[in-house]
Amino acid sequence: MLNPIMLKNLCRTAIAEDVGAGDATTLSVIPKDLQITAHMVPRENCVCAGLPLAETLFAELDPSISFEYGLREGERCVKGQIMATISGAARSILTGERIALNFVQRYCGIATSAHKYVDALGDSKTIILDTRKTTPGLRALEKYAVRMGGGQNHRFGLYDRVMIKDNHRELAKLTGPDSIQRAVQACRTRFPELEVEVEADTLEEVAAALEAKAEYILLDNMTNEQMSEAVVLTAKRAKLEASGGITLERIPSLARLGLDFISVGALTHSVPSIDIGLDVV
């Protein structure tokens, strides 16, 4: 999922933003020939994600820097455990320290959050999904971090699945009745190779989506009782996805409803970063 060219381009942009014409403090204080070793260490338990980006960052700053992994991506990491060891020119390591940590802290935060949601499901067959509520330009990395935490990815963009949401439904009503049926048919005619998902706010809309033979139905902001009725009504004729108002505390109560998926925007739009330091040894 991590394209090397994408990683390099992102790191070059980050270096241009942060370093500019040069790291004034480091160039003034740190001797040119000084060599050091530093460990990347979390200050709290987490799931590891983003180390390839840190490795690319240091390589872009100074190809002579050695970057050794202490953990694999997706591996659980306890407070104080060495995630990676960076060795080489002190100037290069100090210049790249904050950028590298910003990257890893962010993606470890997403992976750790995803793991908590997956863990809260217990042995349920329901799958945790992310959404498109991601940072523009960084979606691939944020969805990658969700995978490292044990979640799965929803559609990547507007092009790889039809998703008829509330605004689509409402605007389709302007052209006549049976808006869901007609919207699904229009999408199948225009993009026959794509699966179709319909967002439903009510059980009546679930029934309409079933009649239209949508492959997926998103149950938007429904109560547990409504979703249980939707599971019975659907009788496995479509995959059901719960979305809206999903919190970590609510996950155990959803685990036994018979849902296929639970999508959680919070996995990417509001997770806290993990506290990680770079300790010189």
CA dist list (Å): 58 to 14, 163, 230: 12, 40, 51
Alpha carbon of residue 104 to chain centroid: 13
End-to-end CA distance of the chain: 33
- Determine the residue type at 163: M
CA distance 6 to 3: 5
In the set 195, 215, 220, 229, the catalytic residue is 220
In the set 23, 130, 142, 199, the catalytic residue is 199
Decide: 84 and 69 in contact? Cβ < 8 Å: yes
Q: Is the dihedral of CA 176, 179, 181, 186 positive or negative?
A: positive
CA distance 261 to 281: 45
CA distance 51 to 232: 44
Which of 247, 249, 281, 272 has its CA nearest to residue 44?
A: 272
Which of 227, 229, 200 has its CA nearest to residue 214?
A: 200
H or E element at residue 8: helix 4-18
Is there a catalytic annotation at residue 98?
yes
Which of 185, 254, 181 has its CA nearest to residue 222?
A: 254
In the set 12, 43, 165, 213, the catalytic residue is 165
In the set 8, 132, 133, 239, the catalytic residue is 133
In the set 43, 76, 98, 213, the catalytic residue is 98
Is there a catalytic annotation at residue 161?
no
Q: Which residues are catalytically annotated?
A: 98, 133, 165, 199, 220
